[in-house]
């Protein structure tokens, strides 16, 4: 489980790092690209937490049976 979390964080940081190379070309005056990147990162983190919590619950139920 720790390996999966580490892999997801690594992929997320890679995504953010690769997006920063194009920020200069894509950035508006208000820096809206940063808002988009932050929103996507929050969504991915939320999904990962949700999936890990479901996995824990399923493991608990399997142990009870």
pLDDT tens digit sequence for 4-24: 777 777 777 766 666 555 555
Domain boundaries, the chain: 2-64
Model pLDDT for residues 35-56, shown as the tens digit of each residue:
888 999 999 999 999 999 999 9
- Cα-atom radius of gyration of the chain, to the nearest Å? 17
Question: What pTM did the predictor assign?
Answer: 0.52
- What CA–CA distance (Å, rounded) separates 7 from 55? 17
pLDDT at 46 (0 to 100): 93
């Amino acid at each position: 489980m720790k390996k999966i979390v580490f892999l997801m964080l690594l992929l997320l940081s890679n995504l953010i790092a690769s997006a920063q190379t194009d920020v200069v070309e894509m950035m508006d005056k208000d820096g809206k690209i940063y808002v988009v990147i932050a929103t996507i990162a929050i969504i991915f983190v939320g999904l990962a937490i949700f999936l890990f919590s479901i996995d824990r619950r399923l493991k608990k139920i399997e142990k009870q049976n």
